[in-house]
């Protein structure tokens, strides 16, 4: 903690009685000093008759600017004074874990984003990607790529399989990080609120892909995502994610256990279930996220959502685009884990 930063963040209008000199705080031999100082200041504040909250805020003034900010933000969170939107997206939480997401993106997976400019800077858009892995890492990495690389960064929302909302903790994390249940009603509402929405039309079939099936796109259902895009006039941006299909290499599937736990699959990977919870740590493959040319749907008009032929055609077009770019991307990227 630098003394210079501390004096920068200091409010000159507030008295600093009894505050230890900055050199004391910098002394590494006494890590307890700040804590003692803090408690002493707090007691003094309370003795003066200030309310506990004011006293806390008073001693917080003496802390370095950054620590103070973090401390005050922590206090506010403890009071429930933080915004959550009606979907339960918690911006403060997302900001807190963003460094972790960036670490995964940059260091763990050494991800490279291509064609981010194809994501519209304003308004609604449907990002359609290939899906793999039981935890929605691919959705989070797409959002991270847009936050890091796009000139107009914003947090892309995403739709996840329903059972994520039936899992302790996972349900909280997914909701606070902009996830919603994979339901057409959610997709339409999010798009009408002008969000970016990532969907995975492969769905359960995607996360159930075995190691030998990686980067082979599964069937795209009945093209429900195209109907949603047509109905809302949102452009479709096909996204080819290379790397996500190697993070949890599924070697086998224990059906009986899956049925018992009420999950769609019970995957056996090199690390799971052999290493227990450690098996949830994804393998460090190298990622390449490619955003392809958007397909405009607005010219067709909302009524075109009923046109089965058009829906299937567009669905097939998106699927082919992603498959093509996946194969190219796998080649471009080279060795998966080096």
Residues that bind other proteins (CB under 8 A): 39, 42-43, 46-47, 51-53, 55-56, 75, 77-82, 84, 86-88, 90, 162-163, 165-169, 171-172, 175, 180-181, 183, 185-186, 189
Nearer to other proteins, 3 or 46 (CB): 46
Report the C-alpha gap between 272 and 248 in whole angstroms: 9
Smallest separation, CB 59 to other proteins (Å)? 11
Residue 86 CB, nearest distance to other proteins (Å)? 5
Smallest separation (angstroms) from other proteins to the CB of 90: 8
Nearer residue to other proteins within complex by CB, 84 or 307: 84
Q: How far is the CB of 328 from other proteins (least distance, A)?
A: 36
Q: Is 253:266 a contact under the CB 8 Å cutoff?
A: yes
Q: Is the peptide bond before 273 cis (omega within 30 degrees of 0)?
A: yes
Q: Structure tokens of 108?
A: 């763990």
Shortest reach from residue 169's CB to other proteins, in Å: 4
| Residues written for the chain | 338
* Closer Cβ to other proteins, 171 or 317, answer by number: 171
Q: Which is nearer to other proteins, 89 or 272 (CB)?
A: 89
Radius of gyration of the chain (CA): 25
Query: 158 - beta bridge partners?
Result: 179, 198
Minimum CB distance to other proteins smaller for 2 or for 183: 183
Is the CB of 204 or the CB of 328 nearer to other proteins?
204
Which CB sits closer to other proteins, 116 or 280? 280
Q: How far is the CB of 160 from other proteins (least distance, A)?
A: 11
How many Å apart are CA 82 and CA 216, to the nearest integer?
Answer: 43
In whole angstroms, what is the distance from residue 77 CA to residue 96 CA?
12
Closer CB to other proteins, 170 or 247, in the complex: 170
Minimum separation from the CB atom of position 87 to other proteins (A):
6
Q: Shortest approach of other proteins to residue 264 CB, angstroms?
A: 12
Smallest distance, other proteins to C-beta of residue 39, A: 7
- Looking at the Cβ atoms of 60 and 113, the one nearer to other proteins is 60
**Do the Cβ atoms of 115 and 229 come closer than 8 Å?**
no
- How would you classify residue 80: left for phi > 0, otherwise alpha for psi between -120 and 50, otherwise beta? left
CA distance linking residue 103 with residue 105, whole number of Å: 5
* Contacting residues for 334 by C-beta, under 8 A, at least 6 apart: 286
* Backbone angles phi and psi of 125, in degrees to 5: -160, 145
Q: Contacts by 280-285 with C-beta closer than 8 Å and gap 24+?
A: 280/135, 282/108, 282/133, 282/135, 282/137, 282/247, 282/248, 283/246, 283/247, 283/248, 283/249, 283/337, 284/108, 284/109, 284/337, 285/109, 285/243, 285/244, 285/246, 285/247, 285/336, 285/337
């Amino acid at each position: 903690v630098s003394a210079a930063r501390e004096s920068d963040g200091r409010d000159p209008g507030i008295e600093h009685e009894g505050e230890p000199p900055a050199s004391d705080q910098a002394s590494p031999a006494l890590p307890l000093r700040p804590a003692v100082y803090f408690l002493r200041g707090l007691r003094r504040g309370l003795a003066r008759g200030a309310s506990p909250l004011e006293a806390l805020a008073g001693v917080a003034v003496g802390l370095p600017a950054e620590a103070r900010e973090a401390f005050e933000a922590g206090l506010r969170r403890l009071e429930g004074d933080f915004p959550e939107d009606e979907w339960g997206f918690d911006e403060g939480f997302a900001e807190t874990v963003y460094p972790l997401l960036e670490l995964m993106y940059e260091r763990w997976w050494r991800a490279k984003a291509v064609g981010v400019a194809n994501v519209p800077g304003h308004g609604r858009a449907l990002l359609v990607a290939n899906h793999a892995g039981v935890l929605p890492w691919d959705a989070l990495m797409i959002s991270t790529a847009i936050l890091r690389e796009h000139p107009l960064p914003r947090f892309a929302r995403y739709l996840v399989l329903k059972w994520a909302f039936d899992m302790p903790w996972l349900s909280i994390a997914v909701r606070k990080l902009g996830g919603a249940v994979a339901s057409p009603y959610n997709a339409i509402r999010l798009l009408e609120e002008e969000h970016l929405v990532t969907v995975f039309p492969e769905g359960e079939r995607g996360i159930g892909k075995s190691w030998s099936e990686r980067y082979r796109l599964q069937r795209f259902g009945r093209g429900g995502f195209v109907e949603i895009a047509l109905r809302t006039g949102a452009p479709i941006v096909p996204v080819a994610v290379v790397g996500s299909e190697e993070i949890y290499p599924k070697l086998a599937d224990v059906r009986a256990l899956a049925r018992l736990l009420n999950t769609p699959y019970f995957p056996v990977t090199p690390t799971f279930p052999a290493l227990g919870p450690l098996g949830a740590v994804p393998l460090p493959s190298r990622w390449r996220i490619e955003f392809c040319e958007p397909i405009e749907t607005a010219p067709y008009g909302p009524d075109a959502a009923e046109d089965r032929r058009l829906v299937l055609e567009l669905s097939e077009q998106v699927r082919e685009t992603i498959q093509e770019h996946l194969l190219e991307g796998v080649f471009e990227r080279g060795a998966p884990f080096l």
